[in-house]
Chains A and B, each alone.
Chain A
Amino acid sequence: MNSQKTIKEAVVILALALITAFSINFISPRGIALVGQWDTSQGVVSARTKNDVVHEEREINDIMDAKAVFDEHTAVFVDARRREEFEEGHVKGAVPFPVKEYENIIESFIESNPFDVPLVIYCSGRECEDSHVLASYLSDEGYLNARVMVDGFPLWQSKGFPVEK
């Protein structure tokens, strides 16, 4: 078996794969950045796509800040998780809004919540993008103040903050 020939073949294939991969990633609208945001201490993790829904300026990074907003009773808390998860427990007074049910829910949500009401959207924590996806959709609808509680329900609950089922 000619191992030198095999190595040359493998190098050719790998070179072709590298050129194709980076070219298509550069051209494609679904392409991602060469380095993503994978540090949970910095916020919600994301591969950073060209149309990334994760915007750091929307994030409430400290759960205590989210609790302060909750205590003001001016914001609506929106739960972006699946309905079953919501039913198992959620932030007290939160509105269920599973991202996958967006089309069915959005009309009634707009009827009950004016565009200037502050929204605090959450899902399961810093590895979950659903809250950012929903914040992005709601901002596009016209909501002026849609923010994301990045630590999500698990930390809220473990801190002993108000929850209900």
Chain B
Amino acid sequence: MIRESYTRVSGTKEWIELILRWLVGCVFIYASFHKISDPALFAKSVYSYALFPSGLINLIAIVIPYIELLSGLFLVFGVYPRGASSIINGLLVLFIVCLSINLIRGHQFDCGCLSAGEEMDKPTRWLLIRDILYLMACAYVFFYKGRRRLSLMQ
């Protein structure tokens, strides 16, 4: 009886881990597409945050989309899931810090998160809440200790 209930709980946790891993992975793969297809536009979004030195803006715009894409793919396929989720958690913390600074100082900017330009009208606090939810989901994937379903590596 106890064993059955333990198996059921751990089975549910496995499914939760799979859903959250796929959700975060797919969101990051999707988020990378518009940045990869128009790096100049994404560089302008990075510039609009008014947080980074001029010399770093293009490098950020070149590198971040591929970190998102590869980490997302690794999460979806379950390759190095802990390493991939640690990177995505790091990115999310960075995004949350940048959004918070601009929210506090009332600076309007193009988030450039999921699509270029379209998010100018979205209140920064909603973007912040969304990123915090993704961070919680990805933290679950990172700290998960059981067997990972449909994962090429554990």
Which A residues form the contact surface with B (CB < 8 A)? 1, 5-14, 16-18, 20-22, 24-25, 30-36, 38-39, 45-49, 127
Q: Does B43 contact A (CB under 8 A)?
A: yes
Q: Which residue of A lies closest to B41 (CB)?
A: A47
Measured in the bound complex, the distance between the Cα atoms of B57 and A19 in whole Å is: 18
Do A30 and B40 touch (CB < 8 A)?
yes
Please tell me the number of chain B residues within 8 Å of chain A, measured between CB atoms. Answer: 31
Given A16-B70, A20-B70, A21-B65: A32 and B40 interface contact (C-beta under 8 Å) = yes
Further contacts, 13 of them, CB under 8 A, given A11-B83, A14-B67: A5-B82, A6-B86, A7-B83, A13-B70, A18-B63, A24-B36, A30-B38, A30-B40, A32-B43, A32-B61, A35-B59, A47-B43, A127-B47
- B66 near A17 with CB under 8 A, answer yes
B58-87 contacts to A, CB under 8 A, are 58-59, 61-63, 65-67, 69-71, 74, 80, 82-84, 86-87
Identify the B interface with A (CB < 8 A).
36-40, 43-44, 47, 54-55, 57-59, 61-63, 65-67, 69-71, 74, 80, 82-84, 86-87, 143, 145
Residues of A within 8 A of B143 (CB): 1
The answer to whether B83 and A6 touch across the interface, beta carbons within 8 angstroms, is yes
Given contacts A34-B58, A35-B54, contact A13 B47 (CB under 8 A): no
B37 touches A25 (CB 8 A): no
Q: How far is the CA of A74 from the CA of B2 in the complex (A)?
A: 91
Contact A38 B63 (CB under 8 A): no
CB-based contact B82/A9 at 8 Å: yes
Known A21-B62, A35-B58; judge A30-B70 contact (CB<8 A).
no
Contact A9/B84 with A17-B63, A30-B40, A34-B59 known, Cβ cut-off 8 Å: yes
CB atoms of B66 and A13 under 8 A apart: no
Tell me if A45 and B47 are in contact (CB < 8 A).
yes
**24 sampled A-B residue pairs with Cβ under 8 A:** A6-B86, A7-B83, A9-B84, A9-B86, A10-B80, A10-B86, A12-B80, A14-B67, A21-B62, A21-B66, A21-B67, A22-B62, A22-B63, A25-B62, A30-B38, A30-B40, A31-B39, A32-B39, A32-B43, A32-B58, A36-B58, A38-B57, A45-B47, A49-B39
